[in-house]
Chain A
């Protein structure tokens, strides 16, 4: 059965979702939780079976779909995809388990399970077309989540979300088709396999155009400045669970795709665009942090903070060395955990008061001490305190980029300042001071259902902050493979210099260390 574990992981939730339609309404919740739990355990089995010492893809499956065009159902994972898949199954599980009173709960659970299929699909696809199919399919359940369970402006928000990201994806699709065409020109055969594409050395000019096409799709998904404005609307209108999944997993598709496609396929273009992209990342970090600081609605603070942190991920990715990319992949996980947790936390207070305006709160630390504590821990993780999960990723990302540019890293490093400013201010507004509003005086503290989601997230936040090795180790090996591929493939001398060969670097410092 383990030969097809990826296929099972992808289609088990979809099948279960279809069966879900006939499940009795009273037991749909436990049905959903059990399916998601089985899926999560399966993903843990995947982790258990994954061999971190093997370079390259594991659990590969290949079934030809359209042989004449080289399109096949090609799956496989390395450590970079592995942990995001686990993150996706984990969030689906705790998301369903902590669902509150929801209308049409059956449809909601079915939607979430379909969404799970697309997420696992995106992160395990190694064929560009299969990747694209899952990438686009993921829009549908999310569109439905926002449009059916969202706030008053849900239709505007969901259509904006859909059309905006869809536009970007279409440009990406053109890039993919051209890439396949070029592959055909160069080798005489058709292939959409990413692994085959890796082997192709493209002239620099070609790389630049293709990089730009892929970039549009990825950048809107991340979302990178100035393509980020769909996100505040989507988060503003989405139900809690929608925001959680969106922030924790869906945004990672963009950053993951940079690591999976852009870097190894276009190493020279990556070097060429490194500085402009770093500048965008810095704008994301500082500018959206300022916008976050100006917000009155706590969910918007979290939404913009999420964009700000994505800036650091992008920066780490384009550090183009092992330290930076490992850090950025780790930060993807960290950002998923922390911003997912923050959206859960915002949901807790929204469920109680049906408002997200910070001016409506104040003094919550007195009324809801447990809630305030958990929020405090997650906030400190978001601010990047050492021994929390975020610090490891943020530190490594910035450390990595420092090798490329001192000044830009100094600017990007302001993330730790501006992040503290908006977060602490928001926390102060909501939790400190006297309880002024009558409605807030008797708010119940977090209940058991909410703790089901929050406690594991807090544990992960601290555990991977103190001991990141189980995750960082495998990621490091996969990233080393990518970086050495990039170094080998690079056409220009500049790129060869900018992208260090991890193997050589290792040997030289070992020698340096002993002297």
Chain B
């Protein structure tokens, strides 16, 4: 099994390096094919490992070599494939394979084709390191590695100012969270003596609660950065500047869920500190609704989906925070399938519309892009949580968990958000695919994507439909050997049915409402001039606030630090001291002009001064002592 582990981990790296060798040269289809093949290899190996875990359930644990060892610190390159990491590996490698093949079509005309595949595969490698590491610092390698790849890929079209700006924003904002993560790691080390999960986790039980609280909070702040939780969320929407396959893979399916993975992985810790868990859940519920509200009005196709991702991450954190780790992981998996599909569909639309992003300029695309329409609709239905698609099983579980645990406020928020989700999803579908073909006014000539691209997307479409009812049983059986196996059953059958049918009906109603309202893409001027609309379209003025009150002051303060403090105070003081010596020398050397009478006068003056001083000292001393 170790062979499969190494194969799953390193084949993306090999692919990345091969593609990287041709990074600066002209497009060669070869790089796209070889990287895709290697990612597929990784997928197959992950699948073999999954079969192994399903078989006898024995985790595969290897220590490749020592990485850092000094003092008492020992950190190896250690990897573990257990019930949790194998789920992540499957999700990552599967979505990556799809996205790689898809990108061969999507990046077809891009001159940096090879470079793209090199970065994309490097990302997959980092993500694999993240989920497979058996210690916190190994996870941190992957954590920073995906951050780097995200930076490279958001700013992939580096001639665009907006893209490079967004790339830097994402990197720096993540760095803020990473600092907290590092502090969390320091705390783990100094309190448990190790960073390896199998030593640190059992040791948590022996620590006092305030230390645990600190560890839990700091690690979670780290998770907030990667998973773009409020207030570190603004980078995710801006990250949509990157190529769409990147948005699908990194900013929807995998990287942004790393935070959720961290909380799930550290479940022995969060189980001990339910207060932090409750905070995580509350923040998650808040973000779910907060992000959904921004998605309601946005007019940028990719941003709408990005906000939707943010909102769904909120759902996952609610589950993870409430201790329903397996539910969080299940939603993570289902979400990866349908959200990646949604993004890839959006990519097809963008290609057809010459990179136009405003859905109000589209409409009626179902005629020319039948398959994309079907797949995006499927993904949206799954996202909305309609039975029997994947989203129903995973999202409903979160609602049930909140309800069963008596967190009715959280439950209500999530329920309302579910309606909002259905609404904005079908607002988008309706605007893009239904109604009149408004794009004709703008002179677009839409066309369906390449056939192989559609075929590449089909596994995701199938999974978005079947992942829920097909995998739920075996999934639960598998992961609950590692994660707390809490079942969330409503006590009364009637409540269960009322809740489920009620939710389904309300969601259905939202969908219908969105269809009707937006089929003709009428813009309601009255709503648009309202305060609420302005607030939402400006993202609650948070980016504005960050720019005005954080970025600008930092820039100005830096400038002051250099021009006024460093040059005019610190350096000027040094020069002044030097000048004092210099000037004194300049002034006093006239005393020794070689004129005997002047020099004698100075001598007398000096002797007199010395005598006075001697007298003063004697007197002063006797006064002081006497």
A contacts, CB < 8 Å to B: 160, 163-164, 225-230, 287, 290-291, 293-295, 321-323, 326-327, 363, 365-366, 369-370, 373, 380, 385-387, 392, 395-396, 398-400, 402-403, 406, 409-410, 413-414, 416-417, 420-421, 424-425, 428, 431-434, 466-469, 472-473, 475-476, 479-480, 502, 505-506, 509, 512-513
The SS class assigned to the B binding surface is helix
Q: How far is the CB of B148 from chain A (nearest CB, A)?
A: 6
Interchain residue pairs with CB less than 8 A apart (21): A225-B570, A229-B571, A290-B561, A294-B555, A294-B563, A295-B562, A327-B70, A363-B159, A370-B24, A386-B145, A387-B141, A387-B145, A398-B182, A398-B186, A402-B186, A402-B190, A413-B182, A416-B178, A416-B182, A424-B168, A424-B172
Given contacts A385-B148, A402-B190, A417-B172, is CB(A476)–CB(B69) below 8 Å?
yes
Residue among B159, B178, B199, B566 having the largest count of chain A Cβ atoms under 10 Å: B566
Q: Which residue of A lies closest to B190 (CB)?
A: A403
Q: Which residue of B lies closest to A164 (CB)?
A: B574
Task: Give CA–CA (A227, B563) in the complex, Å.
Answer: 17
Q: Which residue of A lies closest to B571 (CB)?
A: A229
Given contacts A326-B71, A509-B193, is CB(A433)–CB(B159) below 8 Å?
yes
Contacts of B183 on A, CB cut-off 8 Å?
402, 406, 409-410, 413
Task: Give CA–CA (A396, B555) in the complex, Å.
Answer: 30
Contacts of A295 on B, CB cut-off 8 Å?
562
Given contacts A416-B182, A420-B175, A432-B159, is CB(A425)–CB(B168) below 8 Å?
yes
Task: Give CA–CA (A395, B144) in the complex, Å.
Answer: 13
CB–CB A473/B557 < 8 A: no
Task: Give CA–CA (A126, B199) in the complex, Å.
Answer: 42
Q: What 0/1 readout, one digit per residue, does chain B (526-559) give for beta carbons within 8 Å of chain A?
A: 0000000000000000000000000000110111
Task: Give CA–CA (A373, B168) in the complex, Å.
Answer: 17
Q: Taking the complex as formed, is B323 at the interface, i.e. its CB lies under 8 A from any CB of chain A? A: no
Task: Give CA–CA (A365, B111) in the complex, Å.
Answer: 14
Contacts of A467 on B, CB cut-off 8 Å?
65, 67
CB–CB A373/B141 < 8 A: no
Since A230-B574, A294-B563, A399-B185 are in contact, a sample of 11 more A-B pairs with Cβ atoms closer than 8 Å, ordered by chain A residue number, is A226-B570, A228-B570, A293-B554, A294-B562, A323-B71, A323-B72, A385-B144, A386-B145, A424-B151, A433-B158, A502-B71
CB–CB A291/B161 < 8 A: no
Residues in B286-308 with C-beta less than 8 Å from chain A: none
Q: Taking the complex as formed, is B609 at the interface, i.e. its CB lies under 8 A from any CB of chain A? A: no
Task: Give CA–CA (A466, B144) in the complex, Å.
Answer: 14
Contacts of A387 on B, CB cut-off 8 Å?
141, 145
Residue among A160, A290, A321, A428 having the largest count of chain B Cβ atoms under 10 Å: A290
Contacts of B430 on A, CB cut-off 8 Å?
none
Contacts of B140 on A, CB cut-off 8 Å?
386
Contacts of B23 on A, CB cut-off 8 Å?
369, 373
Q: How far is the CB of A227 from chain B (nearest CB, A)?
A: 8
Q: Taking the complex as formed, is B179 at the interface, i.e. its CB lies under 8 A from any CB of chain A? A: yes
Q: What 0/1 readout, one digit per residue, does chain B (173-204) give for beta carbons within 8 Å of chain A?
A: 00110110011011101100110000100000
Q: Which residue of B lies closest to A295 (CB)?
A: B562
Q: How far is the CB of B236 from chain A (nearest CB, A)?
A: 18
CB–CB B172/A468 < 8 A: no
Contacts of A386 on B, CB cut-off 8 Å?
137, 140-141, 144-145
Task: Give CA–CA (A402, B218) in the complex, Å.
Answer: 14
CB–CB A469/B69 < 8 A: yes
Q: Which residue of B lies closest to A477 (CB)?
A: B70
Task: Give CA–CA (A163, B577) in the complex, Å.
Answer: 12
Q: How many residues of B contact A (CB 8 A)?
A: 56
Task: Give CA–CA (A457, B199) in the complex, Å.
Answer: 37
Contacts of A327 on B, CB cut-off 8 Å?
70
Q: Taking the complex as formed, is B317 at the interface, i.e. its CB lies under 8 A from any CB of chain A? A: no
CB–CB A505/B71 < 8 A: yes
Given contacts A413-B183, A416-B178, A433-B161, is CB(A291)–CB(B562) below 8 Å?
yes
CB–CB A505/B72 < 8 A: yes
Residue among A323, A366, A370, A409 having the largest count of chain B Cβ atoms under 10 Å: A323
Given contacts A399-B186, A420-B171, A421-B172, is CB(A365)–CB(B158) below 8 Å?
yes
CB–CB A417/B176 < 8 A: yes
Task: Give CA–CA (A506, B70) in the complex, Å.
Answer: 11
Q: Taking the complex as formed, is B73 at the interface, i.e. its CB lies under 8 A from any CB of chain A? A: yes
Contacts of A466 on B, CB cut-off 8 Å?
67
Contacts of A398 on B, CB cut-off 8 Å?
182, 186
Q: How far is the CB of B137 from chain A (nearest CB, A)?
A: 8
Contacts of A472 on B, CB cut-off 8 Å?
68-70
Q: Taking the complex as formed, is B66 at the interface, i.e. its CB lies under 8 A from any CB of chain A? A: yes
CB–CB A416/B179 < 8 A: yes
Q: Taking the complex as formed, is B314 at the interface, i.e. its CB lies under 8 A from any CB of chain A? A: no
Q: How far is the CB of A359 from chain B (nearest CB, A)?
A: 15
Q: What 0/1 readout, one digit per residue, does chain B (55-86) give for beta carbons within 8 Å of chain A?
A: 00000000001111111110000000000000
Contacts of B71 on A, CB cut-off 8 Å?
321-323, 326, 400, 476, 480, 502, 505
CB–CB B168/A428 < 8 A: yes
Q: Taking the complex as formed, is B164 at the interface, i.e. its CB lies under 8 A from any CB of chain A? A: yes
Contacts of B24 on A, CB cut-off 8 Å?
369-370, 373
Task: Give CA–CA (A366, B70) in the complex, Å.
Answer: 42
Task: Give CA–CA (A410, B186) in the complex, Å.
Answer: 10
Task: Give CA–CA (A476, B172) in the complex, Å.
Answer: 33
